[in-house]
Structure 1
Amino acid sequence: MIPELGTIEGFYGRPWDWEARAAHVSALAPHGYRFYLYAPKADTFLRRRWNEPHPAEEAERLTELAAHCRAEGVRFGAGLSPYELYLDFDDAAREALAQKLAWLDEMGIDDLAILFDDMRGDLPGLAEKQIEIIECAAERTKAGRLIICPSYYTDDPILDRVFGERPEGYLEALGARLDPAIEIFWTGPKVCSKEIPAAHLAHVTETLKRRPFIWDNYPVNDGQRMSPFLHLRAFEGRPREAGEHMSAHGVNPASQPCLSRIPMLTLEANYRGSMDEADTAFLAAAEAVCGGPLARMLADDLPLLQGKGLDGMTDKETAALRNRYAAADHPCAREVVQWLDGYWRITDEIVQTQ
Structure 2
Amino acid sequence: MTPELGIIEGFYGKPWTWAEREETAACLAPHGYRFYHFAPKADLFLRRRWQEQHPADDAAGLASLSRKCRSLGMRFGVGLSPYEIYLDFNEGVRDALKRKLAFLDEIGIDDLAILFDDMRGDVPDLAEKQVEIAHWLKERSAATRLLVCPSYYTDDPVLDRIFGKRPEGYLEELGQRLDPSIEILWTGEEVCSREFTPGHLARVTKQLRRKPFLWDNYPVNDGPRMSQYLYLRAFTGRPASIGAHIAAHGVNPASQPVLSRIPALSLAESYRLGDAYQYGHALQEAAATVLGADLARRVVGDLLLLHDTGLDRLGDAAQKLRTRYAAFDHPGAREIVAWLDGAWRITQEIMDTQ
TM-score band (shorter)? Answer: over 0.9
Q: Report the secondary structure of 2:255's partner residue.
A: coil
What is the identity, as a one-letter code, of the residue corresponding to 1:200? H
Indicate the residue corresponding to 2:292 in structure 1.
Answer: 291
Q: Cα deviations across residues 298-353 of structure 1 (Å, max 9, x unaligned)?
A: 11111011110102211x10010000000011110000000000000000000000
Alpha-carbon offset, residue 96 of structure 1:
1.0
Indicate the residue corresponding to 2:280 in structure 1.
Answer: 279
Q: Taking structure 2 as the reference length, what is the TM-score of the superposition?
A: 0.99
What is the identity, as a one-letter code, of the residue corresponding to 2:140? R
1:157-168 to 2 correspondence within 5 Å?
A: 157-168=157-168
Indicate the residue corresponding to 2:336 in structure 1.
Answer: 336
1:198-237 to 2 correspondence within 5 Å?
A: 198-237=198-237
What is the identity, as a one-letter code, of the residue corresponding to 1:111? D
Q: Cα deviations across residues 266-293 of structure 1 (Å, max 9, x unaligned)?
A: 1111012255421111011000111111
Distance of 2:124 and 2:131 partners within structure 1: 13
Q: Cα deviations across residues 37-78 of structure 1 (Å, max 9, x unaligned)?
A: 000000000000001110111111111110111111111000
Distance of 1:45 and 1:276 partners within structure 2: 41
What is the identity, as a one-letter code, of the residue corresponding to 1:308? T
1:120 aligns with 2:109: no
Distance of 1:150 and 1:276 partners within structure 2: 33
Distance of 2:13 and 2:204 partners within structure 1: 30
What is the identity, as a one-letter code, of the residue corresponding to 2:309? K
Distance of 1:194 and 1:311 partners within structure 2: 24
What is the identity, as a one-letter code, of the residue corresponding to 2:282? A
Q: Report the secondary structure of 2:181's partner residue.
A: coil
Distance of 2:196 and 2:175 partners within structure 1: 20
Q: Report the secondary structure of 1:40's partner residue.
A: coil
- 5+ residue gaps, structure 1, are none
Indicate the residue corresponding to 1:97 in structure 2.
Answer: 97
What is the identity, as a one-letter code, of the residue corresponding to 2:224? Q
1:4 aligns with 2:4: yes
Distance of 2:26 and 2:49 partners within structure 1: 30
Indicate the residue corresponding to 1:305 in structure 2.
Answer: 306
Indicate the residue corresponding to 1:129 in structure 2.
Answer: 129
Indicate the residue corresponding to 2:180 in structure 1.
Answer: 180
Alpha-carbon offset, residue 98 of structure 1:
1.4
Q: Report the secondary structure of 2:302's partner residue.
A: helix
Q: Report the secondary structure of 2:228's partner residue.
A: coil
What is the identity, as a one-letter code, of the residue corresponding to 1:270? S
Distance of 1:272 and 1:68 partners within structure 2: 25
Indicate the residue corresponding to 2:86 in structure 1.
Answer: 86
Distance of 2:299 and 2:61 partners within structure 1: 33
Alpha-carbon offset, residue 166 of structure 1:
0.2
Indicate the residue corresponding to 1:154 in structure 2.
Answer: 154
Q: Report the secondary structure of 1:148's partner residue.
A: strand
- 5+ residue gaps, structure 2, are none
Q: What is the aligned-residue RMSD (CA, Å)?
A: 0.8
Q: Report the secondary structure of 1:34's partner residue.
A: strand
Indicate the residue corresponding to 2:33 in structure 1.
Answer: 33
What is the identity, as a one-letter code, of the residue corresponding to 1:36? Y
Distance of 1:253 and 1:284 partners within structure 2: 19
Q: Report the secondary structure of 2:124's partner residue.
A: coil
Distance of 1:312 and 1:278 partners within structure 2: 26
Q: Report the secondary structure of 1:230's partner residue.
A: coil
Distance of 1:249 and 1:277 partners within structure 2: 20
Distance of 1:56 and 1:68 partners within structure 2: 18
1:108 aligns with 2:108: yes
Q: Report the secondary structure of 1:344's partner residue.
A: coil
1:140 aligns with 2:134: no
Distance of 2:72 and 2:263 partners within structure 1: 21
Distance of 1:170 and 1:101 partners within structure 2: 27
Q: Report the secondary structure of 2:224's partner residue.
A: helix
Indicate the residue corresponding to 1:238 in structure 2.
Answer: 238
What is the identity, as a one-letter code, of the residue corresponding to 1:162? I
Identity of aligned residues (%): 63
What is the identity, as a one-letter code, of the residue corresponding to 1:90? N
What is the identity, as a one-letter code, of the residue corresponding to 2:26? S
What is the identity, as a one-letter code, of the residue corresponding to 2:298? M
Distance of 2:57 and 2:267 partners within structure 1: 34
Q: Cα deviations across residues 219-265 of structure 1 (Å, max 9, x unaligned)?
A: 00001110010000000000111010000000000000000000000
Indicate the residue corresponding to 2:353 in structure 1.
Answer: 353
Q: Report the secondary structure of 1:232's partner residue.
A: coil
Moved segments of 4+, more than 2 Å: 273-277
Q: Report the secondary structure of 1:127's partner residue.
A: helix
